[in-house]
Chain A
Amino acid sequence: MSKKSKNVIIILACMITLVCALVAILPGYHYSTKLNTTVTVKDGKVDPASARAGLPIGRSGKYVFTADWWLENDPGFVTALSISDETGREVFSVSGQELMCDSVVMDLQAGIYTCEFEFLADAASYAAYCQAHFPEEDIADFDDSFVKDGTWDMVYSIEAGPAYRSGYIIGIMAGILFGILFIALVAVLARKDTTAVSKYDERQIAMQGKAAKYAFYTMLVYSMAAAVILDLNLVPVISPAVLLFAGAMLGAGVMVTYALLKDAYFKMNESKRTWIIAFGIITVFNVFLGIISLARNEILADGILRISEVGNLLCGVLMAYILILCCVKNIIDRREEE
């Protein structure tokens, strides 16, 4: 067996082990349900007074409930939500004009949970609900200033997701590790001659230095602009993480552009075609995940652009740009050689 084949097998084994370990360690399960209902308020009476939706949880574990609803105009009533397990035991309840919230970490058994929504438009029903669900808490007086007659099409979303942020961090670290393994695999596959040394020559190293310098200045200017934007809250719709991530993408874009145009991006004795195919795979993967986020209406669902929603799209855009640049450079090189 050749050294190249051995390296490929080792890297593939590492990737498979990593994926298996992740599946075993991380719960990573998200269960969700939606409720679409039309609620009418007339003379302080709500119709219907309540609605139900089932939330199936397939695997026992620690979860956090996230409740959310969206509507362009505030409804003229308060929504209260209580979630009960199959035995009828209440595990979570919340009420308020703003229903968007996360629960505490809960140990849940697999089964179908009932999400009961109650629509409250008067002080008496609100007090009764609070008495039944939060008997030991001091509840603020019912503010009826928002109560009004009308009909609203409500869309409620309840999600039970993994409890711990550490799961998210482990997921990201595993993603980075998987990316490194993928790049290592491509680097092995891209070597044209396994007996020859695959390295950068002195001009390529010098050009990479220049590329890094331009990337550094770009990121310096960008970081200062981002600091001002964040300090003055000029673009509240974009989260700080997205701004930082976009800066990293910009710096990488500048560095890759300069290095590619100066023939300092690919090592000697490396197949450009293999790298271009790999870039294509990464682009498709990231754009696909970005489109899934778009299709799920996750982007800007809560009015803020978050890294978990647009990170893949940003990566996809950068990779697509690099891919196009590689193709253009290939065409220029061929013409030069001719």
Chain B
Amino acid sequence: MKNLKLKSARAAFDMSQQELADKVGVSRQTINAIEKGDYNPTINLCIAICKALNKTLDELFWEEAE
């Protein structure tokens, strides 16, 4: 499932995938895979991304009930 929340949070910071990747210490392809829903990151990486985007885990990674 695509992670649109992450994509929009990144866009709100006007940050490219590469910039976010550099900030959290992973490759651009990994950020791309997370946004596309192709890869489930570990909790450590989730926290690093949240800190980089100034968001909480819930805001970026919790699935809302439909």
Could you list which residues of chain A lie within 8 angstroms of chain B, going by C-beta atoms? 197, 201-204, 206, 263, 268
State the CA gap A138–B45 with chains docked (Å).
81
Residues of B within 8 A of A197 (CB): 25
State the CA gap A204–B39 with chains docked (Å).
10
Residues of B within 8 A of A202 (CB): 26, 30, 41-42, 44-45
CB atoms of A201 and B25 under 8 A apart: yes
Taking chain B's interface residues, is the majority helix, strand, or loop, or is none over half, making it mixed? loop
- A202-B44, A203-B30, A268-B26 known; 4 new pairs, CB 8 Å cut-off, are A203-B27, A263-B27, A268-B25, A268-B27
- Answer yes or no: B33 CB below 8 A from chain A CBs: yes
Interface centre among B25, B30, B39 (most CB of A within 10 A): B30
State the CA gap A334–B42 with chains docked (Å).
28
CB atoms of A203 and B39 under 8 A apart: yes
Residues of B within 8 A of A263 (CB): 27, 29-30
**14 sample A-B contacts, Cβ–Cβ < 8 Å, listed by A number:** A197-B25, A201-B25, A201-B26, A201-B27, A202-B26, A202-B42, A203-B26, A203-B30, A203-B33, A204-B27, A206-B39, A263-B29, A263-B30, A268-B25
> Closest residue to B25 on the A side, CB-wise?
A201
B contacts with A, residue count (CB < 8 A): 11
> Closest residue to A206 on the B side, CB-wise?
B39
State the CA gap A202–B29 with chains docked (Å).
12
Could you list which residues of chain B lie within 8 angstroms of chain A, going by C-beta atoms? 25-27, 29-30, 33, 39, 41-42, 44-45
> Closest residue to A337 on the B side, CB-wise?
B28
Residues of B within 8 A of A206 (CB): 39
> Closest residue to B27 on the A side, CB-wise?
A268
Residues of B within 8 A of A268 (CB): 25-27
Interface centre among B26, B27, B30, B42 (most CB of A within 10 A): B27
State the CA gap A202–B33 with chains docked (Å).
12
State the CA gap A204–B42 with chains docked (Å).
13
- CB A278 to nearest CB in B, in angstroms, measures 20
- CB A328 to nearest CB in B, in angstroms, measures 16
Residues of A within 8 A of B42 (CB): 202
Interface centre among B25, B29, B39, B42 (most CB of A within 10 A): B29
State the CA gap A109–B7 with chains docked (Å).
77
- CB B3 to nearest CB in A, in angstroms, measures 14
For the complex of A and B, the 4 pairs showing the least CB-CB separation, nearest first, are: A263-B29, A201-B26, A203-B30, A268-B27
> Closest residue to A199 on the B side, CB-wise?
B25
State the CA gap A203–B37 with chains docked (Å).
13
Residues of A within 8 A of B41 (CB): 202-203
State the CA gap A197–B26 with chains docked (Å).
11
- CB B28 to nearest CB in A, in angstroms, measures 9
State the CA gap A308–B39 with chains docked (Å).
44
State the CA gap A201–B44 with chains docked (Å).
12
